[in-house]
Structure 1
Amino acid sequence: MVTELSGIPSASVPEPVRLDAVELSWSIRRRELTCEQVAEAFLTQMDRFNPLVNAIVSRADEQDVLAQARARDAELDRGEWAGWMHGFPIAVKDLTDAEGFPTTQGFEHTGAATEDAIFVRRMRAAGAIVVGKTNVPEFGLGSHTFNPLFGTTTNPYDPGRAAGGSSGGAAAALAMRLLPVADGSDFMGSLRNPAAFCNVLSLRPGFGRIPAPGFVGDPAVPGPMARTVRDLAMLLSTMAGSDERAPLSAPQDPAVFTGALDRDVSGLRIGWVGDFDGYLATEPGVLDLCRGAAERFASLGCVVEPVPRLPVERAWDTFLLWRRWMVGEKLHDVYRSPGSRARMKPEALYEVEGYLELTVQDIAAARAGRDAWRESVSELFDRYDFLLAPSAQVFPFDAGSRWPDEIDGRPMDTYHRWMEVAAPWTLSGHPVLNLPAGFGAAGVPTGVSLVGRGHGEWSLLQLGHAYEQATDWVHAVLPPALT
């Protein structure tokens, strides 16, 4: 139950923050709202409601933000419009560099970053104003956002429960209307799980859709989060696009994501994955809501049918190898310092110490296993246009616990086994759209993952838009503090 803000009337919520991002963009461009008014409204919203969820950290100086907003207004006075995010306040996930802000990774305070990540630079170029960072778990590990620097990010629908992670700060901020849109990233459901927990939308794009440096297809990818499919598509259009510094980046013109979302979806074939025929443990009630979402797709004219059993056990073993390889490689230097190692959380030590035990044969097995799993999933797309699965195996849980150690009586043998549902789609590299699926008996939300063909983000967004028109959970059920 929400009690902390029960005395604040809903009329105190500034109107600009209630607008969807595209609506806000048009209001600014038409000069119905000034950028300064927008900044003031969101800063006020943060002052009132961020203490409830602890979503935004490392906030910028208020007067500096307002000065930047006035500069954006002056640009409009001169007929200069940077793009659809002109005057938008944004907060960047605290695993990603934003010039002038620390990138703490929830582990230690650092100096301010000296340059932006590629997609952050693009958001600023489109007119956005960075006002802070969004909270993350330590090193982004675990789908529960807590760390020793900033504390725990809690759920907008019940502050006693978790907001998910690692993009938990971003998801909670969106649900509480602290930001118009947000960036996130995803290795093991870090875009999908928090969006499901907070009743918002997210898109895990395919490899290379949003550019990142490197020659290896890292399972961790950045992606957009929003409250509507249209807003999600617009943010993707800003973040996406090839870059010379990212050799694996997709060459497609990101302007495609600004097109019309309306589409006749009747006859599209959707394969229902569910819990892989009982292989995955799920909290009672989660699958019921996800099946309800599948029925909603059927009511739109889609053909929904169960998917034959997949070799998901082998996918998990392969995923663990990739997880240790990628995470251990990133954290090895921190681990080598005895002082830092003593402060690392057990989940980080688990990954790095597993990495140190890997052999060349393990790396070869990881690569071969990933190829084999991709082939297994790709074969399904010979029969189906999309796949549908839960985004999480549990509802938002007690924010005071580290992670669920059992689900419906089945013990979890690692800190992330309870999110195994996300691993297959990370491993295959297919794009995944999280959509809200409704609320359980305790009044907290969950979501479903719509999986598309390789680099099929646009088709995903179009089908997601049709589902959204029929459900609209985001606007139908607001966090209690905002009602």
Structure 2
Amino acid sequence: MTCLDLTALERSVAIKDQRLAVVELMEATLDRIEAVNGALNAIVSLRDRDDLMGEARAVQDAPRKGWLHGIPIAIKDLAHARGLPTSMGSPLFAGQVANYDEPMVARLRDAGAIVIGKTNVPEFGLGSHTFNPVHGTTVNPYDHGRTAGGSSGGAAVALATGMLSVADGSDMMGSLRNPAGWNNVYGLRPTWGTVPSDPVGDVFMHQLATLGPMARTPADLAALLDTMTGPLAGQPLSVAAEATLPMLSQPPGTLRIGWLGDWGGALPFEEGILPLSEAALRQIGGLGHQISDVAAPFDAARMWNSWTDLRSFSIASGLYPLFADAETRDRLKTSAQWEIARGMTLTGTELNTASLARSDWYHCCMDLFREIDVLVLPSAQCWPFEVGMEHVKEIAGVHMDTYHRWMQVVIPASLVGLPVVNIPIGFGDNGLPAGLQLIGPRGAEGRLLQLAQQWHDLTDWPNARRPVI
């Protein structure tokens, strides 16, 4: 066993007990990146090796700041990290270096993490396929001809291959869950407001996306979540949250788990995904939990219309200045142009209709959670697709009418800001990994992580089937 086989928490204890030197961990990390990243393209904007080794030596002799003391981490290339470029995958921002840390990044540094570079993303994080004209394409470590998912694709691949032990991600439409599922690792979309984002622009209206942690174990996931969380003065809708890591020492008790399946036939799935998901559910039931089928609780079309309107409005609000300038508009990817153009034409009445549908779905969820503790859906409706495809255009004979329709399975949680933990559930006959979404009511991160820990103790999929690198 090498230091790269240790979990993040194990590395933390080993460094604290002086059984592992920070410089040893940094050297091993950079060696692993050098060995495997060229074929995968997960980590971008990697800092100079000599500079990183110098920082590791300085941290080695410095007072311990927190549990991440001396642990290398790379930041998703949508977030600002002081001294590193924030390209967002767009040529419009390539080479622009951040002069400050976003709150989440500052919290990681305050806990002792050493930021070594960035992880790759789709342009502006749009689309669950990590490719862009600045850094290129990130490929799946289990099949280099397949996508890694996205938008946290670089982070997921770096975790799966041992280049990182923990990573940050963000999630609007499955951007933590989809790549975690497709790379055999864990990802957590927290309750909206638990992990505050950078308080720039509007801080009230656009409650769709959130930051969150990714890891190879639920315990590391909990530890990173606890580091990221906490109210932020500039974010009025940020909330306090109970620490989750201490909860993992206790089992969750018998949980009532509801399987939503294909949402009453509304969601098409590629062959093999539902059977694999149902097999995992039977294993979860074997842990002492009560599994039941849940009929489609809400009109799928109404939910989809609400989501696409609110999403387009949110994206347009952020990117419209680039769209309004004819010189920069043509340099935006097609999906970004489509979202902005659509969002700018929405009327107040249409937005109110979308918001009312969201409110009705939230009230429906509250009724569901009186009878069910955890709702379950697959993490994606298809297997990782070929890297040459921009997006999926058909699933099980059903035409996908937008660039993101194939990820409809993630919006029940996204639309109303519910917490979700992706757990890896094994592999299909095609050798590709898949995941399940464990969805709970607001503030249920601890319970979901307890269930994920039970599952991990039973299966440990990230170690049971590592990618061949």
TM-score, reference length from structure 1? 0.94
CA distance in structure 2 between the aligned counterparts of 1:260 and 1:326, rounded to whole angstroms: 35
Q: Is the 8 A contact 2:207 2:417 kept in 1?
A: no
Question: Which residue, 409, 413, 421 being the options, matches 1:421?
Answer: 409
8 Å CA contact 1:207, 1:217 repeated in 2:
no
Give the 5 Å matches for 1:329-368: 329-368=317-356
Q: Deviations over 1:95-114 (max 9, x none)?
A: 11101111111002142111
Corresponding residue of 2:227: 238
Q: How far, CA to CA, are the matches of 1:344 and 1:217 in structure 2?
A: 22
CA shift for structure 1 position 243: 1.5
**Preserved CA contact (<8 Å) 1:217 1:248:** no
Partner secondary structure for residue 127 of structure 2: coil
Pairing 1:188–2:173 present = yes
> Secondary structure of the equivalent of 1:241?
coil
Deviation at 1:296, TM superposition (A): 1.2
Contact 2:241-2:443 within 8 A present in 1 as well = no
The residue identity in structure 2 corresponding to 1:163 is A
Give 1:265 deviation, angstroms: 4.0
1:257 to 2:244 alignment:
yes
1:445 aligns with 2:433: yes
User: Which residue does 2:281 correspond to in 1?
Assistant: 294
The one of 390, 394, 397 equivalent to 1:409 is 397
Provide the secondary structure at the position in 1 that maps to 2:61.
Answer: helix
* Contact 1:270/1:305 (<8 A) preserved: yes
Match of 1:29 among 6, 13, 16: 16
Corresponding residue for residue 447 of structure 2: 459
| 1:175 aligned partner | 160
Moved more, 206-215 or 379-388: 206-215
Which residue in the other structure is 1:318 paired with? 306
State the secondary structure of the residue aligned to 1:261: helix
- Tell me the residue number matched to 1:224: 213
AA paired with 2:449?
Answer: L
Per-residue CA deviation, residues 294-337 of structure 1 (Å, 9 max, x unaligned), is 11111011001011222222110100011101111111111122
Answer yes or no: is 1:247 the counterpart of 2:236.
Answer: yes
Residues 355-409 of structure 1: CA distance to partner in whole angstroms, max 9, x if unpaired? 1211111221222121111111221101001101101001111011111100111
Aligned equivalents of 1:405, 1:25: Cα separation in 2: 44
Contact 2:251–2:450 (Cα < 8 Å) also in 1: no
In structure 2, what is the Cα distance between the partners aligned to 1:217 and 1:230?
Answer: 30
Residue range with higher mean Cα deviation, 340-349 or 430-439: 340-349
Q: 2:69 maps to what in 1?
A: 86
Q: Partner residue of 2:122?
A: 137
Tell me by how many angstroms 1:247 deviates: 1.0
**What is the match of residue 4 of structure 1?**
none
1:96 is aligned to 79
2:252–2:447 CA contact under 8 A, matched in 1:
no
User: Is the CA contact 1:265–1:301 (under 8 Å) kept in the aligned structure 2?
Assistant: no
Mapped partners of 2:206, 2:324: distance in 1: 26
- Return the letter of the residue paired with 1:115: Y
Offset of residue 264 of structure 1: 3.6
Work out the CA distance in 2 between the residues paired with 1:189 and 1:405: 18
* Uncovered stretches (5+) of structure 2, i.e. residues with no partner: none
Deviation at 1:169, TM superposition (A): 0.4
Q: Deviations over 1:397-427 (max 9, x none)?
A: 1011111100111110000000000011100
SS at match of 1:474: helix
SS state at 1:422 partner: helix
TM-score by length of 2: 0.97
Find the aligned partners of 1:202 and 1:252 in 2 and give their Cα distance.
Answer: 18
- Aligned residue identity for 1:396: P
What is the percent sequence identity of the aligned residues? 44
Query: Which residue in 2 is equivalent to 1:72?
Result: 59
Q: Can you list the C-alpha shifts for 1:181-221, whole angstroms capped at 9, x where unaligned? A: 00000000000000000000000001111012312352010
Instruction: Provide the secondary structure at the position in 2 that maps to 1:294.
Output: helix
The reply on whether 1:384 has 2:367 as its aligned counterpart is no
Name the SS for the 2:330 alignment partner: helix
Q: Is 1:51 aligned with 2:38? A: yes
Contact 1:433 1:460 in 2 (8 A): yes
Match of 1:155 in 2: 140
Specify the SS of the correspondent of 1:480: coil
Partner Cα separation in structure 2 for residue 262 and residue 252 of structure 1? 18
Question: 1: distance between equivalents of 2:252 and 2:344?
Answer: 48
Paired residue for 1:8?
Answer: none
Alignment partners' CA distance in 1, 2:382 and 2:168: 24
Q: CA deviation at 1:266?
A: 4.6
Deviation (angstroms), 1:262: 3.4
Shift of 1:428: 1.9
Q: How many residues align?
A: 462
2-structure distance, mates of 1:107, 1:33 = 39
Opposite residue 215 of structure 1, the aligned amino acid is: F
Q: What residue ranges of structure 1 are gaps of 5+ in the alignment?
A: 1-13
1-side partners of 2:126 and 2:441: how far apart?
27
- Report the residue type matching 1:23 in the other structure: E
2:245 and 2:288 map into 1 onto residues whose CA distance is 25
Contact 2:77 2:87 in 1 (8 A): yes
Task: Give the distance between the partners of 2:253 and 2:317, measured in 1 at CA.
Answer: 46
**1:476 and 2:456 aligned:** no
Q: 1:105 aligns with which of 81, 84, 88?
A: 88
Cα separation, 2, equivalents of 1:262 and 1:31:
25
Deviations 1:71-116 (A, max 9, x none): 11111xxxx2111100011110001110111111100214211111
Moved over 4 A (4+): none
Instruction: Indicate if the aligned counterparts of 1:374 and 1:429 stay in contact, CA closer than 8 A.
Output: no
Q: Within 2, Cα distance between the matches of 1:175 and 1:112?
A: 28
> 1:199 aligned to 2:203?
no
Aligned partner letter, 2:427: F
Match of 1:382, SS?
helix
Q: Quick one: distance in 2 between partners of 1:377 and 1:344? A: 37
SS at match of 2:278: helix
Read off the aligned partner of 2:6 and give its amino acid letter: L
